[in-house]
Amino acid sequence: MIRLFLWLLGVLLVAYAAALLADHPGAVTIDFQGFEVITSFASLVLAAAILAGLVAGIVWFVGWLRRDMPVVGKNAEIKRQSRGLKMMNQSLVALAAGDHKLARKLVEQAEVLLPPQPMVHLIAAEAASRAGDYQGAQKRYQALEKTEDGRFLGLRGLVQEARRLGRESEALRLARTAFQENRKSPWVLKTLFALEVAAGNWVQAEEALQKVSREKLLESDVVTRHRAALAFAHATEQNLKGEKDAARKSFKKALSSRPDFAPAASALAKLELSAGNKKRAEKIVRDVWSRVPHPSLAKVFKELDAAESGADWLKRVRTLVESNPDDPQSMLLLADALMDARAYDMAKPVLEKLTREAPTRAAWQYRLALAHALGEDPDPVEAALAHAADGARWVCSDCGHTPHGWSPLCGSCGAFDSLSWHAGQAVAQSHAGKAVEAPIAMLVGSSESPWNGPAGSAEKGT
């Protein structure tokens, strides 16, 4: 209502001005460079109005040509790009719905309508990868790498393709390049660490782990455990090369990070024993046994004096197990020493307690030997032995593999630092969960975690 009132007021003012000029036309004389123009003021105003209208019409026409002219007009370009954006969004929805063919078709149509941009290459690469066209996906990632805004994503895609093809050295090179592009990306830090581990570059892997720790991508206790695993792996490599002093330092570094790390303690004790440092080796075994008794420590402890009598062996065992007497490994070792010393009457209550609290195969085997030594009926013991569990063992938390000894990488799935010592009677073996396909792996995180696969699972092991 206010606008209508203002419009009518404007019309009235214009009509009033026109009437005023008509009643009082006035006179205007223009003298310029010898030319003289004599006219009325009303005519001059009318001519100026006509000229202004003409100029306005020309400006409008030029603007119309630039905006709405078919093919080359700005509005035509905007409409074309709008269609392209719509198709790109539709391709993203199709990809999330699992229709890879439609997604690929739509994104290729969108590419024609849109100016060059990283998102087109990203969706096209993902669609090609899910359709099984890995060569096409690699070409798209290479094109994405060449763009200014999409270089990092292109490198990420190329790393994943290299790992899929088993080209770990190429994946490592690309990951290092990606690290130069973005030094704080969680993905690049984790992937770089995993690839350095897979390549056996223990020093570089530790440097990458420090970067991961600074960015707080892992819990501090996980970082500490991984640091110990890397130190153990480096020490083992140094020991094989004959670098005994360097290996000794690395084993000690592993134990300083993880004082209950039995594999490192056993290896260090063997190294000290081979150098003639029997007392040092014994101290190492005793310190770790008081925390976590382990069969590998018992083996090294036996080797400290392999020629001793059964009575002397029993005496040494008693001093070792008194720091942790109720642990199944302590009872097993004590039963072994009692059987060697032929102290069958003392071995019987130990084995009865052991078979009651931790009825493993090893415990029942000792009990069977005791039954034969005492002339007892072996049939009940043999029946229990037939159904006894294997007992304590190393288990990969990623795939359930049970190797004979600890190693930095799982021998079955290649996971890093995923082996943990399970003292229970049974270990779950169901690790066959199938990953759910992400809507877009490169946007919400790869469906294959950098911690898994050849480089290992660095976050799950304990």
pLDDT tens-digit readout, 112-124: 888 888 889 989 9
347-372 confidence digits (pLDDT tens): 999 999 999 999 999 999 999 999 99
Q: What is the percentage of the chain residues whose pLDDT exceeds 70?
A: 88
Residues 431-460 have a mean pLDDT of 43
Q: What is the percentage of the chain residues whose pLDDT exceeds 90?
A: 49
Decide the pairing of beta strands 28-32 and 35-39: antiparallel
The residues, any chain, with a CB within 8 Å of residue 273's CB and separated by 6 or more, are 281, 300, 303, 304
422-442 confidence digits (pLDDT tens): 865 444 444 444 344 444 445
131-144 confidence digits (pLDDT tens): 889 899 999 999 99
305-339 confidence digits (pLDDT tens): 878 899 999 999 999 999 999 999 999 999 999 99
Determine the Cα–Cα distance for residues 283 and 294; give it in Å rounded to an integer.
15
Read off the tokens for 10. 């404007």
The residues, any chain, with a CB within 8 Å of residue 68's CB and separated by 6 or more, are 75, 76
Determine the Cα–Cα distance for residues 35 and 40; give it in Å rounded to an integer.
17
Question: At 14, which helix (H) or strand (E)?
Answer: helix 2-23
Average pLDDT, the chain: 85
What pLDDT, on the 0 to 100 scale, is given for residue 179? 92
CB 110, CB 87: distance < 8 Å: yes
What pLDDT, on the 0 to 100 scale, is given for residue 332? 93
187-229 confidence digits (pLDDT tens): 899 899 989 998 989 999 999 999 999 988 889 999 999 999 9
Decide which of 42 and 126 is more confident: 126
Domains along the chain?
69-148 (1.25.40), 218-307 (1.25.40.10), 310-388 (1.25.40), 390-429+444-462 (no CATH)
Q: Which of 260, 273, 343, 262 is nearest to 302 (CA)?
A: 273
Residue 65 has pLDDT above 80, yes or no: no
Residue 403 has pLDDT above 70, yes or no: yes
